[in-house]
Structure 1
């Protein structure tokens, strides 16, 4: 099937997403699970940018899945504002360990993002040590992130740092983010999709993985770039995306291969490629 480029005239944040997934070259991925194992080059959106598993018309429709964002005078928006204020004044103050963790979680570029769940699975995740899983995370990022855009484009919700005339944990990205809709959160969708996939790859680590996936979304509140309702609905889009990917035979084959791959790495007792003590300390404050 032909693969269209990132498909919206409002492409500022999608440019960030494209840069995130284009940091490394494409790897090889297995063909359908019911076919003999063979190598096939991962399709690309453009050179160096791997496509997701789903064709654009197969991605979940976020506009159909999520409700309208909370109205300005609603109780739901009051809760959004209270949550944002608590983050900035209590649990994720600027310069705090939780705020610095939010900065790390904001980086969707690879190889940096590959280690996000390394502590949760208690093993390294890298292109060299877990190549199938590495590429699987990159491709899932594309599907989950882009699935948020029908709703993002329709609602064009203002981000909290813009609405409150404050700053975020990623000031260099503020000009781009200010032009991109806040609802639902693409980062949160990607992080929750990763968590759901990884619980199938390492089910004995499910609690730690899901806790990390939740914290990844809450980092967007700590960073002051998303409201809580943005994050919540990003997780909804992620769940729909992962459910849909299970109908794709290439995804299923990669899932099985990544499960075996990670098991072998874990059997070697190799340490995670993140500072797990620092991460755990930062995430103690994670409402």
Structure 2
């Protein structure tokens, strides 16, 4: 199914569209990788009336109480998938400020991955066509309750796929920071629960799909050729040692310590 740019944005794909326009070496000359079909590997979302759906309902209602807190503000920030903002979400985890303008090879890797993920995630969402948790109620959300978002299917979470697959790719490039980067990828997925735009099971499925996607991305020959240059770009930024805002890092650390999956 071909989606309009507006619908893609509402469905958590604004990052994919914006990143595809980034300047990167030989961008567009290399085909994006082929990703596995999660319509086969993922279980169906919880059925109405099931215990799993009841658990989703409970977590959704409990996390509405976070409105106005620093965790809510982080969820709002994490919803921004514009390329530089998106990459900067990982600065605290990396231990230095990440600047996409200084990483053209990393930008190309992310562009190729994003193009592939856009198509595959859209297919999966429309296969299950699950309604989002805010449909039929007036519970607070951390983003605008737009008609496009309302119409966009919920399962699996596209933001989570983008966030966690990127954390996995960055972990391959900065293995010495892999635990911190993967923790941040987890928190980005959990931000979708806090925001109120995804069920907890949407996010859990997003982690699973992201893992399979990252394996395929990192095994793709064209992307593997870019990895040494991308790591060199990251190491140069690490050497420059521009530190991220410690207040932001403190909020992220607190979020990591209080997961919606275990604390609600």
Pairwise TM-score range, normalised by the shorter structure: 0.7 to 0.9
Match of 2:196 in 1: 224
- Structure with bigger helix share is 2
The one of 69, 84, 87 equivalent to 1:111 is: 84
Judging changes above 3 Å, is the alpha-carbon distance between structure 1 residues 182 and 265 closer, same or farther for their aligned structure 2 residues?
same
Q: How big is the shift at 1:271? A: 1.7
TM-score by length of 2: 0.87
Q: How big is the shift at 1:265? A: 1.8
Q: How big is the shift at 1:81? A: 0.9
TM-score by length of 1: 0.81
Q: How big is the shift at 1:281? A: 4.2
Compute the RMSD of aligned alpha carbons.
2.4
Match of 2:258 in 1: 285
Give 3-state SS (helix, strand or coil) of 1:27's partner: coil
**Bigger shift: residues 71-80 or 248-257:** 248-257
Counterpart check, 1:26 vs 2:22: yes
**Bigger shift: residues 143-152 or 275-284:** 275-284
Match of 1:13 in 2: 7
Q: How big is the shift at 1:22? A: 4.2
Counterpart mapping for 1:224-243 below 5 A: 224-243=196-215
CA contact (8 A) 1:10 1:153 kept: no
Which runs of 5 or more residues in structure 1 are unaligned? 1-6, 30-39, 45-50
Q: How big is the shift at 1:18? A: 5.5
Judging changes above 3 Å, is the alpha-carbon distance between structure 1 residues 266 and 10 closer, same or farther for their aligned structure 2 residues?
closer
**Bigger shift: residues 10-19 or 158-167:** 10-19
Counterpart check, 1:98 vs 2:93: no
Match of 1:134 in 2: 107
Q: How big is the shift at 1:218? A: 0.3
Q: How big is the shift at 1:75? A: 0.8
Match of 1:260 in 2: 232
Match of 1:162 in 2: 135
Match of 1:270 in 2: 242
The one of 29, 32, 43 equivalent to 1:53 is: 32
Judging changes above 3 Å, is the alpha-carbon distance between structure 1 residues 9 and 124 closer, same or farther for their aligned structure 2 residues?
closer
Counterpart check, 1:184 vs 2:180: no
CA contact (8 A) 1:145 1:189 kept: no
CA contact (8 A) 2:98 2:237 kept: no
